Amino acid sequence: MGDTALAASLTVDTRRRTADRVFYGCLAYSVALTLVWLYFVLTQRSAGALFGHYNVDRDSLIRVVVGFLFFSILWGAIWYGVKTLLLRKLVGFTREETRLSFSSRMREPFALEPLLARYSERRIRIADMIGRRGRFITLGAAGFYYLYGRIAAEPTPAFLSLALQDSLFDAVVFNWAGLALYYSSGFLARMFWGPQSRVMDGGLARANCLLITTLWSLFKFVMVPIGVLLAARFPPTTFAALFALIWGSYMAADALSEVVGSLFGRQKIKVWGLGDVNRKSVAGTWAAFLGALGLGVAVVVSSGLPASWLVLAFVIAVSNTLLELVSPRGTDDFTMATANALICLAFGFLVY
């Protein structure tokens, strides 16, 4: 074996070990989450701030099954088709290169370097961005709008736990589905993982996605004690604005940084994280700041809140921008949202 082939083999082995470590870490979390869920289901005890008495009935089973089939399979299939078209027509991938792009990339070699030598990196990034953001922006925006309106109409103390009574069963099912399909390259795995698995992440694409979804699930539980403190400190009339500043501003920053960075940015800022190519752009960084700030200011003004809240919106926009830039890739959703919540809590102690 030549030096080049040996180096390539070692690189593949290193990536596979990293992907395996992410899998087993997320597996341990899912086991713990499932045991907690089973405990409350079997004992019928109340978990206080987490959720009340919980039953797995026919309605909850139907809701989870329909949700999985729609959001993970049908909606995934739509954006799988869109990304396939982009890779073939916009980028120029062959049928085999496209197939490998939607595979797990862990059971057979996936070399990113030859693809970057033959095709436009910017076009690959655009295809990655549209597949990933197209799938999640529409769902995220709809979910945010619904929850924001729900909290504004009924500002309860559990406003930041995102109805864990409704979502805990979903989290258990979706976590196990993601783990079960992690190494697969079959139809369901391509629909579940394909649209959001970036070509530019190489062999660690699914590891990046799995880490993001697991930390997102974990953040809901981190928010429970923080949410209790926020509810005790702030008046109910501000709960909807707090929800928007914590969840909405980070979603706007994260989405716009990738959209603008892929379309217009020059990826020269090196960052660390899960993926073969980890670079970000100045344009994407500015987009993150302006997106978070614009949403924050709009929420504060529309809610008729004092000028001090504009300062809070600015600080959160700065925090989102910096954490989106410096957090290891795959962890920024968790770090940004957690920091937003803690900044709001500190603001509450200073102002209220």
User: Residue 257: pLDDT band by 50, 70, 90 thresholds?
Assistant: very high
The per-residue pLDDT for range 287-328, each reduced to its tens digit, is 999 999 999 999 999 999 999 999 999 999 999 999 999 898
Say which residue, 239 or 6, is predicted with more confidence.
Answer: 239
Instruction: Give 163's contacts (C-beta < 8 A, 6+ positions apart).
Output: none
- pLDDT above 90 covers a percentage of the chain that reads 57
- pLDDT above 70 covers a percentage of the chain that reads 90
The pair of three-digit structure tokens given for residue 307, joined into one six-digit string: 């000028």
**pLDDT score for 8:** 46
Mean per-residue pLDDT, 153-160: 74
Assess contact for 240 and 155: CB atoms under 8 A: yes
Q: Is 208 exposed, middle or buried (0-12, 13-18, 19+ CB in 10 A)?
A: buried
Q: Which long-range contacts (CB under 8 A, 24 or more apart) does 179-185 make?
A: 179/23, 179/26, 179/27, 179/30, 179/210, 182/23, 182/104, 182/206, 182/210, 183/23, 183/104, 183/106, 183/107, 184/104, 185/102, 185/103, 185/104, 185/107
How many secondary structure helices (H) and strands (E) does the chain include?
Answer: 14, 2
**pLDDT score for 83:** 97
In whole angstroms, give the CA distance from residue 345 to residue 28.
30
User: Residue 67: pLDDT band by 50, 70, 90 thresholds?
Assistant: confident
pLDDT at 171 over 80: no
Q: At what angle do helices 332-351 and 308-326 cross, to 10 degrees?
A: 160
The per-residue pLDDT for range 110-124, each reduced to its tens digit, is 889 899 999 999 999
**pLDDT score for 9:** 52
Mean per-residue pLDDT, 15-41: 89
